[in-house]
Amino acid sequence: MELVTGGAGFIGSHLVDVLVAQGKSVRVFDNLSSGREEFLAHHGDSVEIIQADLLNYDDVKAAMAGIETVHHLAANPDIRLGTEVTDTDLRQGTIATYNVLEAMRVSGVKRISFASSSAIYGEADVMPTPETYGPVKPISLYGASKLSSEALISAWCGTFGAKSWLHRFANIVGSRGTHGVIFDFIHKLKADPTRLEVLGDGRQEKSYMSAEDCVRAMVHLVDGVDEDVNLYNLGTGDTCSVRRIAEIVVEESGFENVSIEYTGGKRGWAGDVPKTSLDVEYLFSTGFVPSMQSEAAIRYTARALIDEIGL
Protein backbone atom coordinates (compact mmCIF):
# COMPACT_ATOMS: atom_id res chain seq x y z
CA MET A 1 0.00 0.00 0.00
CA GLU A 2 1.10 3.57 -0.77
CA LEU A 3 0.76 6.46 1.68
CA VAL A 4 0.27 9.94 0.20
CA THR A 5 0.62 12.80 2.69
CA GLY A 6 -1.22 15.85 1.42
CA GLY A 7 -3.05 13.42 -0.85
CA ALA A 8 -6.23 15.51 -0.88
CA GLY A 9 -4.29 18.57 -2.00
CA PHE A 10 -3.53 20.05 -5.38
CA ILE A 11 -0.57 17.91 -6.49
CA GLY A 12 -1.28 15.08 -4.05
CA SER A 13 -4.69 14.33 -5.50
CA HIS A 14 -3.20 14.12 -9.00
CA LEU A 15 -0.62 11.67 -7.66
CA VAL A 16 -3.38 9.56 -6.12
CA ASP A 17 -5.02 9.41 -9.56
CA VAL A 18 -1.83 8.02 -11.11
CA LEU A 19 -1.17 5.52 -8.32
CA VAL A 20 -4.74 4.24 -8.46
CA ALA A 21 -4.44 3.95 -12.25
CA GLN A 22 -1.31 1.83 -11.65
CA GLY A 23 -3.46 -0.54 -9.61
CA LYS A 24 -1.92 0.47 -6.27
CA SER A 25 -3.82 0.60 -2.98
CA VAL A 26 -3.66 4.14 -1.66
CA ARG A 27 -4.02 5.64 1.82
CA VAL A 28 -4.23 9.45 2.00
CA PHE A 29 -3.09 11.39 5.07
CA ASP A 30 -4.33 14.97 4.96
CA ASN A 31 -5.47 17.55 7.52
CA LEU A 32 -7.69 19.15 4.82
CA SER A 33 -6.25 22.58 5.62
CA SER A 34 -5.81 23.28 1.92
CA GLY A 35 -6.70 19.87 0.51
CA ARG A 36 -10.32 18.98 -0.26
CA GLU A 37 -12.11 15.64 -0.09
CA GLU A 38 -13.89 16.51 -3.34
CA PHE A 39 -10.54 16.19 -5.17
CA LEU A 40 -10.68 12.47 -4.32
CA ALA A 41 -14.46 11.96 -4.55
CA HIS A 42 -14.20 10.18 -7.92
CA HIS A 43 -12.30 7.32 -6.24
CA GLY A 44 -15.20 6.50 -3.89
CA ASP A 45 -14.22 4.06 -1.14
CA SER A 46 -11.26 2.67 -3.05
CA VAL A 47 -8.96 5.30 -1.50
CA GLU A 48 -8.64 5.36 2.29
CA ILE A 49 -8.57 8.87 3.76
CA ILE A 50 -7.13 9.65 7.18
CA GLN A 51 -7.98 13.18 8.22
CA ALA A 52 -5.18 14.00 10.63
CA ASP A 53 -2.22 16.31 11.09
CA LEU A 54 1.41 15.31 10.56
CA LEU A 55 2.27 17.20 13.74
CA ASN A 56 0.43 14.50 15.71
CA TYR A 57 3.12 11.86 15.71
CA ASP A 58 0.90 9.04 16.96
CA ASP A 59 -1.44 9.52 14.02
CA VAL A 60 1.48 9.46 11.60
CA LYS A 61 2.80 6.27 13.15
CA ALA A 62 -0.61 4.60 12.95
CA ALA A 63 -0.81 5.48 9.26
CA MET A 64 2.38 3.54 8.45
CA ALA A 65 0.84 0.07 8.90
CA GLY A 66 1.30 -1.93 5.72
CA ILE A 67 2.91 0.90 3.74
CA GLU A 68 5.58 0.19 1.12
CA THR A 69 6.32 3.72 -0.10
CA VAL A 70 5.51 7.10 1.48
CA HIS A 71 4.84 9.91 -0.98
CA HIS A 72 5.34 12.97 1.23
CA LEU A 73 3.67 16.00 -0.33
CA ALA A 74 1.97 17.68 2.64
CA ALA A 75 3.29 21.18 3.35
CA ASN A 76 2.19 24.74 3.73
CA PRO A 77 1.45 25.67 0.09
CA ASP A 78 1.59 29.45 0.61
CA ILE A 79 5.20 30.59 0.14
CA ARG A 80 4.34 34.21 0.86
CA LEU A 81 3.01 33.38 4.33
CA GLY A 82 6.59 33.05 5.64
CA THR A 83 7.05 36.81 5.39
CA GLU A 84 4.43 37.25 8.12
CA VAL A 85 4.27 34.02 10.14
CA THR A 86 7.71 32.52 10.61
CA ASP A 87 6.99 29.14 12.21
CA THR A 88 4.52 27.70 9.69
CA ASP A 89 7.13 26.27 7.33
CA LEU A 90 9.27 25.03 10.22
CA ARG A 91 6.32 23.15 11.70
CA GLN A 92 4.37 22.02 8.64
CA GLY A 93 7.54 21.47 6.62
CA THR A 94 10.60 20.46 8.63
CA ILE A 95 9.00 19.05 11.79
CA ALA A 96 6.26 17.28 9.84
CA THR A 97 8.94 15.61 7.71
CA TYR A 98 10.78 14.56 10.86
CA ASN A 99 7.57 12.92 12.14
CA VAL A 100 7.11 11.09 8.84
CA LEU A 101 10.69 9.80 8.89
CA GLU A 102 10.60 8.76 12.54
CA ALA A 103 7.28 6.95 12.05
CA MET A 104 8.79 5.20 9.01
CA ARG A 105 11.88 4.19 10.99
CA VAL A 106 10.00 2.64 13.90
CA SER A 107 7.56 0.95 11.49
CA GLY A 108 10.22 -0.42 9.13
CA VAL A 109 8.99 1.57 6.10
CA LYS A 110 12.01 2.05 3.84
CA ARG A 111 10.97 4.15 0.83
CA ILE A 112 10.08 7.85 0.66
CA SER A 113 9.33 10.06 -2.33
CA PHE A 114 9.41 13.74 -1.39
CA ALA A 115 8.03 16.89 -3.00
CA SER A 116 10.95 19.32 -2.77
CA SER A 117 11.14 22.60 -4.64
CA SER A 118 13.27 24.80 -6.86
CA ALA A 119 12.81 27.34 -4.03
CA ILE A 120 15.78 25.69 -2.32
CA TYR A 121 18.10 27.27 -4.94
CA GLY A 122 17.23 30.84 -3.97
CA GLU A 123 18.71 33.28 -6.47
CA ALA A 124 21.09 30.92 -8.24
CA ASP A 125 23.79 32.50 -10.40
CA VAL A 126 23.75 29.56 -12.84
CA MET A 127 20.69 29.23 -15.10
CA PRO A 128 19.28 26.84 -16.05
CA THR A 129 20.18 25.54 -12.57
CA PRO A 130 21.32 21.90 -12.39
CA GLU A 131 21.00 19.62 -9.36
CA THR A 132 24.77 19.92 -8.87
CA TYR A 133 24.54 23.67 -8.22
CA GLY A 134 25.92 24.74 -4.86
CA PRO A 135 25.96 26.22 -2.37
CA VAL A 136 22.18 26.53 -2.34
CA LYS A 137 20.93 29.59 -0.46
CA PRO A 138 17.12 29.66 -0.18
CA ILE A 139 15.65 33.13 0.34
CA SER A 140 12.19 32.05 1.51
CA LEU A 141 11.21 30.24 4.68
CA TYR A 142 9.36 27.78 2.45
CA GLY A 143 12.58 27.07 0.53
CA ALA A 144 14.43 26.61 3.82
CA SER A 145 11.88 24.05 5.01
CA LYS A 146 12.20 22.09 1.76
CA LEU A 147 16.00 22.03 1.99
CA SER A 148 15.75 21.02 5.66
CA SER A 149 13.41 18.17 4.72
CA GLU A 150 15.81 17.00 2.00
CA ALA A 151 18.59 17.05 4.58
CA LEU A 152 16.57 15.00 7.08
CA ILE A 153 15.60 12.44 4.45
CA SER A 154 19.19 12.12 3.23
CA ALA A 155 20.39 11.65 6.83
CA TRP A 156 17.74 9.02 7.54
CA CYS A 157 18.83 7.10 4.42
CA GLY A 158 22.49 7.37 5.46
CA THR A 159 21.96 6.44 9.09
CA PHE A 160 19.07 3.98 9.12
CA GLY A 161 19.09 2.58 5.59
CA ALA A 162 16.19 3.76 3.44
CA LYS A 163 15.68 4.79 -0.16
CA SER A 164 14.50 8.23 -1.17
CA TRP A 165 13.44 10.19 -4.22
CA LEU A 166 13.80 13.95 -3.83
CA HIS A 167 11.91 15.86 -6.51
CA ARG A 168 12.82 19.54 -6.84
CA PHE A 169 9.68 20.90 -8.44
CA ALA A 170 9.41 23.81 -10.83
CA ASN A 171 6.24 25.88 -10.31
CA ILE A 172 3.51 23.29 -10.64
CA VAL A 173 0.21 24.41 -12.14
CA GLY A 174 -3.02 22.67 -13.05
CA SER A 175 -6.58 21.89 -12.13
CA ARG A 176 -7.48 21.70 -8.42
CA GLY A 177 -5.03 24.52 -7.75
CA THR A 178 -5.65 26.19 -4.39
CA HIS A 179 -3.00 28.91 -4.56
CA GLY A 180 -0.42 30.45 -6.85
CA VAL A 181 -0.24 33.18 -9.43
CA ILE A 182 -2.88 31.88 -11.89
CA PHE A 183 -5.33 31.17 -9.06
CA ASP A 184 -4.72 34.68 -7.67
CA PHE A 185 -5.17 36.36 -11.05
CA ILE A 186 -8.50 34.63 -11.66
CA HIS A 187 -9.80 35.64 -8.24
CA LYS A 188 -8.71 39.23 -8.85
CA LEU A 189 -10.46 39.30 -12.22
CA LYS A 190 -13.58 37.81 -10.67
CA ALA A 191 -13.63 40.64 -8.12
CA ASP A 192 -12.90 43.36 -10.70
CA PRO A 193 -12.97 42.45 -14.43
CA THR A 194 -11.66 45.87 -15.48
CA ARG A 195 -8.16 45.61 -14.03
CA LEU A 196 -5.55 43.05 -12.97
CA GLU A 197 -2.95 43.97 -10.39
CA VAL A 198 0.37 42.10 -10.79
CA LEU A 199 2.80 41.98 -7.83
CA GLY A 200 6.24 43.19 -8.97
CA ASP A 201 7.19 44.39 -12.44
CA GLY A 202 5.85 41.26 -14.17
CA ARG A 203 9.29 40.34 -15.41
CA GLN A 204 9.65 37.54 -12.87
CA GLU A 205 10.30 34.49 -14.98
CA LYS A 206 9.98 30.89 -13.84
CA SER A 207 9.74 27.29 -14.98
CA TYR A 208 6.20 25.88 -15.00
CA MET A 209 5.05 22.29 -15.26
CA SER A 210 1.57 20.79 -15.29
CA ALA A 211 0.57 18.81 -12.21
CA GLU A 212 -0.21 15.82 -14.41
CA ASP A 213 3.31 15.86 -15.88
CA CYS A 214 4.75 16.42 -12.41
CA VAL A 215 3.16 13.37 -10.78
CA ARG A 216 3.88 11.28 -13.86
CA ALA A 217 7.56 12.24 -13.50
CA MET A 218 7.51 11.40 -9.77
CA VAL A 219 6.17 7.91 -10.39
CA HIS A 220 8.49 7.44 -13.37
CA LEU A 221 11.50 8.12 -11.10
CA VAL A 222 10.30 6.06 -8.14
CA ASP A 223 9.75 3.11 -10.46
CA GLY A 224 12.81 3.69 -12.60
CA VAL A 225 15.84 4.92 -10.63
CA ASP A 226 17.26 3.18 -7.63
CA GLU A 227 20.13 4.95 -5.84
CA ASP A 228 19.87 5.41 -2.08
CA VAL A 229 19.10 9.12 -2.56
CA ASN A 230 17.70 9.98 -6.00
CA LEU A 231 17.59 13.74 -6.48
CA TYR A 232 16.08 15.31 -9.61
CA ASN A 233 14.83 18.66 -10.84
CA LEU A 234 11.28 18.29 -12.20
CA GLY A 235 10.31 20.78 -14.88
CA THR A 236 9.85 21.35 -18.57
CA GLY A 237 13.11 23.03 -19.53
CA ASP A 238 11.68 26.41 -20.46
CA THR A 239 10.26 29.44 -18.62
CA CYS A 240 7.40 31.92 -18.79
CA SER A 241 7.17 35.48 -17.45
CA VAL A 242 4.51 36.69 -15.02
CA ARG A 243 3.63 39.35 -17.61
CA ARG A 244 2.85 36.60 -20.14
CA ILE A 245 0.83 34.68 -17.53
CA ALA A 246 -1.28 37.79 -16.91
CA GLU A 247 -1.91 38.11 -20.65
CA ILE A 248 -2.88 34.45 -20.98
CA VAL A 249 -5.26 34.56 -18.00
CA VAL A 250 -6.90 37.71 -19.37
CA GLU A 251 -7.25 36.08 -22.81
CA GLU A 252 -8.81 32.96 -21.33
CA SER A 253 -11.13 35.00 -19.10
CA GLY A 254 -12.83 36.47 -22.16
CA PHE A 255 -12.89 39.88 -20.48
CA GLU A 256 -12.10 42.80 -22.80
CA ASN A 257 -10.09 45.93 -22.11
CA VAL A 258 -8.58 44.66 -18.87
CA SER A 259 -5.93 47.06 -17.57
CA ILE A 260 -2.91 45.06 -16.37
CA GLU A 261 -1.18 47.07 -13.65
CA TYR A 262 2.18 46.35 -12.06
CA THR A 263 3.06 47.20 -8.45
CA GLY A 264 6.72 47.45 -9.54
CA GLY A 265 9.96 46.09 -8.17
CA LYS A 266 11.72 42.95 -9.28
CA ARG A 267 10.05 40.70 -6.69
CA GLY A 268 6.38 39.93 -6.00
CA TRP A 269 7.17 39.88 -2.27
CA ALA A 270 10.14 39.46 0.08
CA GLY A 271 11.44 35.95 -0.54
CA ASP A 272 10.06 35.80 -4.10
CA VAL A 273 12.78 34.59 -6.48
CA PRO A 274 12.58 36.85 -9.58
CA LYS A 275 13.93 34.29 -12.01
CA THR A 276 14.14 30.54 -11.81
CA SER A 277 15.08 28.22 -14.61
CA LEU A 278 15.63 24.55 -13.87
CA ASP A 279 18.07 22.39 -15.78
CA VAL A 280 16.06 19.20 -16.39
CA GLU A 281 18.52 17.26 -18.55
CA TYR A 282 19.02 14.75 -15.74
CA LEU A 283 15.27 14.02 -15.66
CA PHE A 284 15.10 13.84 -19.45
CA SER A 285 18.07 11.43 -19.46
CA THR A 286 15.81 8.89 -17.73
CA GLY A 287 13.47 8.93 -20.72
CA PHE A 288 10.80 11.20 -19.26
CA VAL A 289 9.11 13.59 -21.70
CA PRO A 290 6.66 16.24 -20.44
CA SER A 291 3.43 16.57 -22.39
CA MET A 292 3.29 20.36 -22.08
CA GLN A 293 5.85 23.18 -22.02
CA SER A 294 5.49 26.09 -19.57
CA GLU A 295 3.17 28.31 -21.62
CA ALA A 296 0.90 25.44 -22.65
CA ALA A 297 0.67 24.31 -19.02
CA ILE A 298 -0.30 27.83 -17.97
CA ARG A 299 -3.01 28.18 -20.63
CA TYR A 300 -4.44 24.78 -19.78
CA THR A 301 -4.40 25.70 -16.07
CA ALA A 302 -6.07 29.05 -16.69
CA ARG A 303 -8.91 27.25 -18.50
CA ALA A 304 -9.26 24.57 -15.82
CA LEU A 305 -9.25 27.04 -12.92
CA ILE A 306 -11.65 29.46 -14.62
CA ASP A 307 -13.91 26.46 -15.03
CA GLU A 308 -13.52 25.49 -11.33
CA ILE A 309 -13.72 28.98 -9.86
CA GLY A 310 -16.22 30.47 -12.28
CA LEU A 311 -16.07 34.06 -13.52
List residues near a copy of itself by CB under 8 A: 82-83, 86-87, 90, 94-95, 98, 101-102, 105, 120, 122-123, 131-141, 143-145, 147-148, 150-152, 154-160, 229, 231, 270-271
Phi and psi based region of residue 159 (left: phi greater than 0; alpha: psi -120 to 50; beta: remaining): alpha
- Least distance to a copy of itself from the beta carbon of 282, Å? 11
- Least distance to a copy of itself from the beta carbon of 168, Å? 9
State yes or no: is 208 an active-site residue.
no
DSSP sequence for 54-115:
TT-HHHHHHTTTT-SEEEE--S---GGGGGT-SSHHIIIIIIHHHHHHHHHHHHT--EEEEE
Query: Among residues 98, 121, 133, 142, which one is catalytic?
Result: 142
- Return the SS3 of 238: coil
Rounded CA gap, 249 and 261, in Å? Answer: 14
- Least distance to a copy of itself from the beta carbon of 50, Å? 23
- Least distance to a copy of itself from the beta carbon of 192, Å? 29
Q: What's the distance, CA 50 to chain centroid?
A: 21
Between 166 and 196, name the residue whose CB sits nearer to a copy of itself: 166
Rounded CA gap, 41 and 246, in Å? Answer: 32
Helices 96-107 and 141-160 sit at what angle, rounded to 10 degrees?
20
Phi, psi of 2 (to 5 degrees): -105, 140
Between 86 and 291, name the residue whose CB sits nearer to a copy of itself: 86
What residue type is 292 in one-letter code? M
Between 32 and 151, name the residue whose CB sits nearer to a copy of itself: 151
Between 9 and 82, name the residue whose CB sits nearer to a copy of itself: 82
Question: Which positions are catalytic?
Answer: 142
